[in-house]
Amino acid sequence: MGFERFGKVSYVSETKVKDFVNYLEQGKIMGTQCRICKKIYFPPQMDCNNCYSKDSMVWREIVNEWTLITYTTAHFAPTGFEDDIPYILAIAESPEGIRLFARLSKDVSEDQLKPGMKLKLVPVRLPNDKISYEFKPIGG
Amino acid sequence: MSKEVAIVGVGQTAFTRACGVTIKELCFEAFKEALEDCNLEPKDIDESIICSAPEYDKQRSPAGAINEYLGLNPKPTFYAESICSSSTTGIRVAYGLIKSGLSSVVAVIGFQKMSELSSREVQERMGRGSDIMWESPFGLFMPAGYALFARNHMKTYGTTEEQLAKVKVKSSKYAFLNPKAIYQREVTLEDVLNSRVIASPLKMYDCCANADGASCVIVASAEKAKKITDTPIWIAGIGSASDALSIAKKTNLTGLTCTVEAARQAYAMAKVEPKDIDVAEVHDCFTIAEIMAYENLGFCKPGEGGKLIEEGQTYIDGKIPVNIDGGLLGKGHPIGATGGSQVRTIVQQLRGEAGKLQVKGAEIGLVHNVGGVGLYANVLILRR
Ligand SMILES: [Zn+2]
């Protein structure tokens, strides 16, 4: 239990990375890294699929700088997200070579977006004691 | 060319919004048509492979229910699944069963009855097609996944919304001539561009429609095939690959890497090149998917897919005719039945039985079937 607090609609409660939610609560965006092969994971995971070492993963703060690659405005939504329409979904990349999918902050509209623009990832509190993260334009 | 495994019979139901029959009845119709296509009887089938996307099924383990209804007991049966590419995955397994000698004649039956569920239930399932831990909680759904590719393709290569729309215009033209297609109306460029936005830049007409339907492909060993028919269609090449399920972890966001890899395998096995293909069925679940398929299958260079449709090169009289049966955009997309329907179209083309939709002198055909947002891909090269 614990991970079900992540996201507006969640399908997962038990996981080895449930501490992610506690870190997020403290304002920290944490990934994991393998001590043996040094591979960085974000979103975090506790199993290294690169070297398969045992108990090799440690928590580590990620470099929170993102460049927007692509985005879409959803005018239709799966169950549980109907009230959010329209909402913007995006993929951005960090200097560590991590690509991440998340929503863009509600206060940004599609015409303000340009591929290549800089974003940061911020924790966001949701109703019903839920928590998530979203992209926000830097300086925006 | 390898002449070891052949397709001897094909069949499919009409693809419709609501079929009004059970999944067993749907499959019966497709199976019967395939048997009649090659003058076989149920007793001639050694094994059946049943293919669908299980989240749309009410029946648990549909293979058993369908095999019983078709009167095939005690022949072996099982289920094959890779979402939208399930039935070509079934054909891949049939190929292996036949080459190994375990079976000589295998029926691959794909089906989906999407009207089995309420629109509410469908909407709920839509939300679980991406990674349920890190992506579904943001409200990702399939059209949005392809929209992210579309936007990136437009940004990278200058592809336009008009070029996307032209794919649908072409599909509707051929669907109009295909009695098994869900859409029987030609649409204009304006119709597509003015349709309502689902996930920008994709609009309603950029997306295929959910449908009910079934398909059947009967696959046989060379020895059996030559006895069954004078026009066996040989599986000359068969390739298969995967990419990450997570949208953010895809190898590439301008095309489908799984398509590139599956095509590479299929071309190498068939010892042919993209320029040798006379007619192709590609997985156009969205207009952008067809444009990426042109590029990823090597019909044009990366970034030139928009130009290829713009120039009309994928029409019936073009350089490489694509989806000359309406494609998924025109026929509808009953998930598990789609790959078998694509194979049926190419088999008919290579036999010269495609009527008004016949590509003259077609000898080598290609089938490209994708599961999910570039998650699974199967590519088949078929020859007369
Ligand atoms: Zn490691």
Is the pLDDT assigned to residue B156 strictly greater than 70?
yes
Q: For residue range B24-37, what is the model confidence (pLDDT) as tens digits?
A: 999 999 999 999 99
A104 vs chain B: nearest CA distance in angstroms? 10
**Does B187 lie in the same domain as B79?**
no
Taking CB atoms and an 8 Å limit, are A99 and B249 in contact across chains? Answer: yes
Note the Cα A102 to chain centre separation in Å: 6
Q: For residue range B360-369, what is the model confidence (pLDDT) as tens digits?
A: 999 999 999 9
**Does B286 lie in the same domain as B361?**
yes
**Does B264 lie in the same domain as B342?**
yes
Residues of A in contact with B124 (CB under 8 A): 78-79
The reported pLDDT for the residue numbered B127 is: 86
The reported pLDDT for the residue numbered A139 is: 73
The reported pLDDT for the residue numbered A140 is: 52
pTM of the predicted model as reported, rounded to 2 decimal places? 0.97
The reported pLDDT for the residue numbered A93 is: 98
- Clarify whether B84 is annotated catalytic: yes
Q: For residue range B282-314, what is the model confidence (pLDDT) as tens digits?
A: 999 999 999 999 999 999 999 999 999 999 999
Taking the C-alpha atoms of residue B309 and residue B102, their distance in angstroms, rounded to an integer, is 44
**Does B170 lie in the same domain as B36?**
no
Rounded mean pLDDT, A82-86: 95
How many domains is chain B partitioned into structurally?
2
Q: Is residue B127 part of a domain?
A: no
Structural contact between residues B93 and B339, judged by C-beta atoms closer than 8 angstroms: no
Taking CB atoms and an 8 Å limit, are A81 and B127 in contact across chains? Answer: yes
Q: Is residue B9 part of a domain?
A: yes
Domain ranges of chain A: 3-61, 66-137
A93 vs chain B: nearest CA distance in angstroms? 9
The reported pLDDT for the residue numbered B120 is: 82
Taking the C-alpha atoms of residue B125 and residue B61, their distance in angstroms, rounded to an integer, is 18
Q: For residue range A102-120, what is the model confidence (pLDDT) as tens digits?
A: 999 999 999 999 999 999 9
Query: Cβ of B55 under 8 Å from any chain A Cβ?
Result: no
For residue B68, what are the contacts with CB-CB under 8 A and spacing of at least 6? none
Letter string b/e over residues B246-279, b meaning 16 or more CB atoms within 10 A of that residue's CB: bbbbbeebbbbbbbbbbbebbbebbebeeeebbb
Average pLDDT, chain A: 95
Cis peptide before B42 (omega within 30 of 0): no
The reported pLDDT for the residue numbered B119 is: 80
**Does B221 lie in the same domain as B194?**
no
Interface test with A, best of B121, B126, B131, B133 (most A CBs within 10 A): B133
**Does B347 lie in the same domain as B224?**
no
**Does B112 lie in the same domain as B27?**
yes
- What CATH number does residue B156 fall under? 3.40.47.10
Q: Is residue B166 part of a domain?
A: yes
Cis peptide before A123 (omega within 30 of 0): no
The reported pLDDT for the residue numbered B178 is: 97
Gap from CA of A41 to ligand 1 centroid (Å): 10
Residues of A in contact with B203 (CB under 8 A): none
Rounded mean pLDDT, A25-51: 97
Give the domain range for residue B109.
5-117+213-233
Q: Is residue B130 part of a domain?
A: no
**Does B167 lie in the same domain as B219?**
no
**Does B152 lie in the same domain as B19?**
no
For residue B317, what are the contacts with CB-CB under 8 A and spacing of at least 6? none
Q: Which of B19, B84, B207, B216 does the annotation list as catalytic?
A: B84
Rounded mean pLDDT, B162-182: 97
- How would you classify residue B176: left for phi > 0, otherwise alpha for psi between -120 and 50, otherwise beta? alpha
With CA atoms as reference, report the closest residue to B346 among B305, B317, B379. B379
Taking CB atoms and an 8 Å limit, are B138 and A70 in contact across chains? Answer: no
**Does B159 lie in the same domain as B29?**
no
Q: Which of B134, B196, B199 sits opposite A73 (nearest CB)?
A: B199
Residues of A in contact with B147 (CB under 8 A): 72
How many Cα atoms are found within 13 Å in the side-chain-facing hemisphere of A36?
Answer: 12
**Does B244 lie in the same domain as B344?**
yes
The reported pLDDT for the residue numbered B112 is: 97
Interface test with A, best of B134, B161, B206 (most A CBs within 10 A): B134
Rg of chain B's alpha carbons, rounded to an integer?
19
Q: For residue range B69-92, what is the model confidence (pLDDT) as tens digits?
A: 999 999 999 999 999 999 999 999
Q: For the ranges A2-6, A10-14, B119-123, B252-256, which has the lowest average pLDDT?
A: B119-123
Q: Is residue B132 part of a domain?
A: no
Average pLDDT, chain B: 97
Q: Is residue B76 part of a domain?
A: yes
Amino acid at A66: W
**Does B170 lie in the same domain as B31?**
no
- Clarify whether B368 is annotated catalytic: no
